[in-house]
Amino acid sequence: KNQVEQSPQSLIILEGKNCTLQCNYTVSPFSNLRWYKQDTGRGPVSLTIMTFSENTKSNGRYTATLDADTKQSSLHITASQLSDSASYICVVSAPYDYKLSFGAGTTVTVRA
């Protein structure tokens, strides 16, 4: 059973609008939670990394939140641009374990 579930599977938004992606996980204990952006045909690139003690972290127009009590995270994209069209992957790591747990990703399409 996948320990990291992402929703929605895909979404379409208009350029300039905001959107929020969700990530629920069951990995416990956990060390950190990461959000990656994967452009079509490319490898994932890190956006944010949060430990259990952090509840928000920003990277430009990307803001990630974490609620370690409910095991939920979200990624908010502000004022979307065409270049935000990509798959966004939530990844959770456990302490002393190199085997990361990956979500299946949310595909975001930004239209002009």
Partner 1 sequence: NAGVTQTPKFQVLKTGQSMTLQCAQDMNHEYMSWYRQDPGMGLRLIHYSVGAGITDQGEVPNGYNVSRSTTEDFPLRLLSAAPSQTSVYFCASSLQLDTEAFFGQGTRLTVV
Q: Which two tokens stand for residue 70?
A: 């409910």
Q: How far is the CB of 28 from partner 1 (least distance, A)?
A: 16
Classify residue 83 by burial, with Cβ atoms within 10 Å: 0-12, 13-18, 19+. exposed
Nearer to partner 1, 32 or 85 (CB): 32
Q: How far is the CB of 18 from partner 1 (least distance, A)?
A: 25
**DSSP reduced 3-state for 45:** strand
**Binding region for partner 1 (CB under 8 A):** 2, 4, 31-32, 34, 41-46, 49, 89, 93, 95-96, 98-105
